[in-house]
Amino acid sequence: MRAVTYAAIFIGLFLVFFPGQIVRQFGVIRPVEWGVPEILGAGVAVAGGLLALWCVLTFAVVGRGTPAPFDPPRRLVVRGPYRLVRNPMYIGAFLLLVGAAVLYRSARLGAYAAGFLAVTHLFVVGYEEPTLTRLFGKEYDSYRAAVRRWLPRFSRAG
């Protein structure tokens, strides 16, 4: 229940409220007709949202914690989407925002998505990674050596 509450706050604030303010403030309107860009944007947004949800559930079930920095998982989560990339929840959120930008054909939403990714990267490097190293030590160091931060490593050997 904690994971759902914190995820709802994060999603509500960064993926709904702030983008909604951009949409309202700059007069971005919903598409009247749906063509390839709108369908593609909606598909990317839905895929990103589903990825983020999968991550929240994995944190709750496997890690026995939440995505919130003040209530982190009790165990290092390296299963589910975390076996391919270390930060899939942020990637899912970014994809949701990019999909919305494409759907609405909004450069401002696109800029918000880019800013979100930049701030997230700084947070990951400056806070999350040092904290996970402190909490999980060699287990996290091994995971970090095997799994990339942002881009999955696909190889025939692994």
- What total of structural domains would you count in the chain? 1
152 domain residue, yes or no: no
Whether the predicted pLDDT of 1 surpasses 90: no
Whether the predicted pLDDT of 141 surpasses 80: yes
34 domain residue, yes or no: yes
pLDDT tens for each residue of 14-55: 666 677 777 777 777 777 788 999 999 999 999 999 998 898
Buried b (16+ CB within 10 A) or exposed e, 95-127: bbbbbbbbbbebeebbebbeebbeebeeebeee
Q: Which pLDDT belongs to residue 158?
A: 47
pLDDT tens for each residue of 94-112: 999 999 999 889 899 999 9
| Domain around 134 | 2-146
